Structure 1
Amino acid sequence: MPLSPDRRLQFRIGGALTLVIAVNGALLAVLAWIASRALSASGRSVSIELGLPLSIGAVLLGAVGLVATQARYGSRTAVSGLELEPVDGDGTRNVGSRVRRLAAQADVPAPTVAVADRSEPGCLTVGRQRSPTIVLTTGLLEKLDDDELEAALAHEVAHVANRDLPVVTAVAAAVAIGDRLLEREGLLRRILENTVMIAFVTGIGVIVFAIPILVLGVCYLLLSAVARAVLGANAIVLGLFSRAREYAADRGASRLTGNPAALASALETLDDGSRPRRDARIHASATLGIVPQPLGLENATEDGEESWVERFLSPVSLERIGEPTLFDRAVTAVGGWLRKRLVAPTAAAVRRLLGWRPSTHPPTEARVDRLRALERRRRE
């Protein structure tokens, strides 16, 4: 039973691809403008005068080339921290033969299969449309039964049949860029906070650290603005097709296996909510996975170890030495009230705002409900 590409999904993918090209074009235009301003400020002049139409054309051509490069190589960022073992022949639990059979049913080129030795269950499809690779983890092979494994593989094959791999790979590359920018933003914020704390504690440091604090503050604001712009662009692009993409793959997998209940059970198993998530909603590997769970190697700070910032710039204590006076007690009481009523809620709101990430998948519960409905209709 060949799977034809979902038409509604193709329209959404077209819109998302157009937006990705526009975002990359805007980025190139901004970089070109900054470069020209920098050259002018240094006394150098750029003699190339293309005119507005040719300039727009050059930027668009560069954006198309950049997106094509992202679509071809972007998925590498999603699996860069994984040691993949290619599956030759049938492989463990016949995953190789299962994928070849499902691909033949869907009338698409058979993807290659690779296994990553990771305890968390997960699977995703990477690579190019003509030569995709389905990546499975050993945790998935251990946790899913035969019907669930078949359904999960059918879901990935359905993605290939829907031809959504190039655009989602380009988006995953942009997501990876956003991830890195947000990590740098957090690191720079901690350096700035500790620098300000040291300046106030040392007293004279306010004068000594004034210029570094100003420079760090400006750099943080610029980096934060760029990171949030990339995040917003990713949110819009993901909103255009991410939900439709997963729903279409779920329907395609149900058609290939004739067992929607097995896919529903697999989704519930893979997204059981018991595993900690590190910004799973927008991590590059989560963008490509069957459920929004990241598979890339975590940084040291995410494993509970202290970063170099925490080791060398740990928070400075402002506790006073000696017996507190009545004035000290009054200040402490007022400060505690302000922290509870004003500072803490404001800080929580800021953390929620800074921690917001767009969703890469529809809610698993909604997907399961749709699959259960398909199962009921199949039995009627």
Structure 2
Amino acid sequence: MPLSPDRRLRLRIVGALTLVVGVNVGVLSVLVWSGLRVAAVGGWSRPAAVGVPFVVGTVLLGAVGLVALQARYGSRSAVAGLELTVPEGDGPRNVAGRVQRLATQAAVPVPSVAIADRAEPTCLTVGSRRSPTIVVTRGLLAELDDDELDAALAHEVAHVANRDLPVVTAVAATVAIGDRLLERERLLRRVLENAVLLGLFTGVGIFILAVPILVIGVVYLLVSAVARALLGVNAIALGLFAKTREYAADRGASQLLGDPAALASALETLSDSRPKRDVRLHASATLGIVSQPLPVSTDDDDGEVHWVERFLPPVSFEGPADPRGLNRGLVWLHVRVVRPAVAAVRRLLGWRPATHPSTEARIEQLRTLERRRRADAT
């Protein structure tokens, strides 16, 4: 049964793409304004031909171009570093043959298949509608039975049919940028905490380290502000279309297979296998069938553990205060003020927008579809 794009999803896709374009316009505007200011300080005078309309048009064109590049190549960031292999023939459990059959049935381009050597059970679709690739982990192949595997693959084929890959890929690209900024924020916070503690414990060291602490603090605040702004943008973009996107793919898979219960069973299995709470937003979680991130590592770009991770231990404020080393006032301050304040800040810094609707809500929708199917059959 051929699948057509979900109509309710189209307007939300347009809204999400408009938001992503707006973010790129903002970034380019800041860069252009900064460049013009620096050039003006250097004595460069703007030619008369380079007026406001020209600058605005250039910024808009550049923003659209950036979004097009993100939509075309952004998904690579989600699978970068994963050990992907193209299976020979139809691959394990005939996975490529299953995808070909489902894509032919849905009348969409047949996606290629890549196997990720990861234990996390998930699958995701990357690339464009003309040349999509479904990435399946070995954990998924091990966890799901035949009907559940068909349902999970049908869900990914439905994404291709719904033509939502460009917008989710563009959002995943901004998520990947946010991931890296959040990693830098965490490392800077650890450096700042250790520098402050070192200065406090050494006494005089606080004066020696005052300037470095101030510089690190300013950089940390800038990185944190940009990372939080990206988190907010991602939250709005995901809120616009993420739930609708997954619900539409669930309905498409049910229509393709004629068996909503199989996908409901697959989601239950995957929900039991994934962490109860995702520790961070991740590009691969944005693209996956469930919110199961596939982070490669916490290593730096060169593949080696970052020196901050190697030499600076995380600072903990949650341990019990020692009344033998502190007077009652300091003990009360530590227990009643410092510890709760630090816990609240960490909860705030640990907030991440949801990448998927709840599994329970998706299963309930599928059960409703199953009841309707049975009612129609009788």
5 Å-filtered alignment, 1:285-364, equals 285-299=284-298, 308-314=307-313, 331-364=326-359
Q: Distance in 2 between matches of 1:123 and 1:48?
A: 53
Asked whether the 8 Å contact 2:151–2:253 carries over to 1, the reply is yes
Structure 2 residue runs without a partner (length 5+): none
Describe the shift of the 1:213–1:312 C-alpha distance in structure 2 as closer, same or farther (beyond 3 A): same
Q: Write out per-residue CA displacement over residues 277-304 of structure 1, whole angstroms, 9 at most, x where no aligned residue.
A: 5535x20000000001012312259xxx
For residue 83 of structure 1, what is the aligned residue in structure 2?
83
After superposition, the Cα gap between the structure-2 partners of 1:229 and 1:289, relative to the gap in structure 1 and judged at 3 Å, is same
The match for 1:215 is: 215
Q: Distance in 1 between matches of 2:125 and 2:312?
A: 41
Which digits, 9 at most, give the CA deviation of each residue in 1:247-298, with x for residues without a partner? 0000000000111111011111112165375535x20000000001012312
- Residues of 2 paired with 1:288 and 1:371: CA distance? 20
State the match for 1:231 in structure 2.
231
Question: Which AA in structure 1 matches 2:342?
Answer: A
* Offset of residue 158 of structure 1: 0.1
Q: 1:46 to 1:188 in 2, by over 3 A?
A: farther
RMSD (CA atoms): 2.3
Query: With structure 2 as the length reference, what TM-score do the two structures score?
Result: 0.92
Checking the alignment, whether the CA contact within 8 Å between 1:200 and 1:206 is kept in structure 2 is yes
CA displacement at 1:214 relative to structure 2: 1.1
2: CA distance, partners of 1:317 / 1:99: 49
Q: 1:264-279 residue pairs with structure 2 within 5 A? A: 264-272=264-272, 275=275, 279=279
Amino acid at match of 1:291: V
Q: 1:208 to 1:114 in 2, by over 3 A?
A: same
Encode CA deviations 1:17-48: one digit per residue, 9 max, x unaligned. Answer: 1110011110111122222333444x342534
Does the 8 Å CA contact 1:123/1:140 hold for their aligned counterparts?
yes
Residue 272 of structure 2 aligns to a residue in which SS?
coil
1:379 aligns with: 374
Change (3 A) 1:317 1:263: closer
Aligned counterparts of 1:185 and 1:45: Cα–Cα separation in 2: 36
1:244 aligns with 244
Q: Aligned AA for 1:204?
A: V
> What letter matches 2:369 in structure 1?
L
How far is 1:347 from its partner? Answer: 1.3
Q: Is the 8 A contact 1:79 1:285 kept in 2?
A: yes
Give the alignment's TM-score, normalised by structure 1: 0.91
- Which residue identity does 1:283 align to in structure 2? H
1:214 partner amino acid: L
Deviation of 1:315 (Å): 6.6
Aligned-pair CA distance for 1:85: 1.1
Q: Deviations over 1:312-340 (max 9, x none)?
A: 3347899xxxxx9xxx8594322222222
Counterpart CA distance in 2 for 1:315 and 1:77 is 28
Q: Which residue of 1 aligns with 2:259?
A: 259
Residue 144 (structure 1) aligns with: 144
Distance 2:193 2:295 in 1: 29
The answer (yes or no) to whether the contact 2:270–2:290 under 8 Å persists in 1 is yes
Q: Mark the CA change 1:274 to 1:104 in structure 2 (over 3 Å): closer, same or farther.
A: closer
Task: Give the AA of the match of 1:74.
Answer: G
2:119 is paired with a residue whose SS is coil
Secondary structure at 1:113's aligned position in 2? strand
Which shows bigger deviation, 225-234 or 47-56?
Answer: 47-56
d(CA) in 2 for partners of 1:341, 1:159: 50
- Find the aligned partners of 1:266 and 1:85 in 2 and give their Cα distance: 24
Unpaired segments ≥5 residues, structure 1? 319-323
Q: Can you list the C-alpha shifts for 1:190-221, whole angstroms capped at 9, x where unaligned?
A: 11111111112222212211111111111111
Report if the CA contact (8 A) 1:264-1:368 is conserved. Answer: yes
Inter-partner Cα distance in structure 2 for 1:71 and 1:330: 58
Q: C-alpha separation between the residues in 2 aligned to 1:191 and 1:123?
A: 37
Contact 2:120-2:274 within 8 A present in 1 as well: no
Find the aligned partners of 2:36 and 2:208 in 1 and give their Cα distance.
Answer: 35
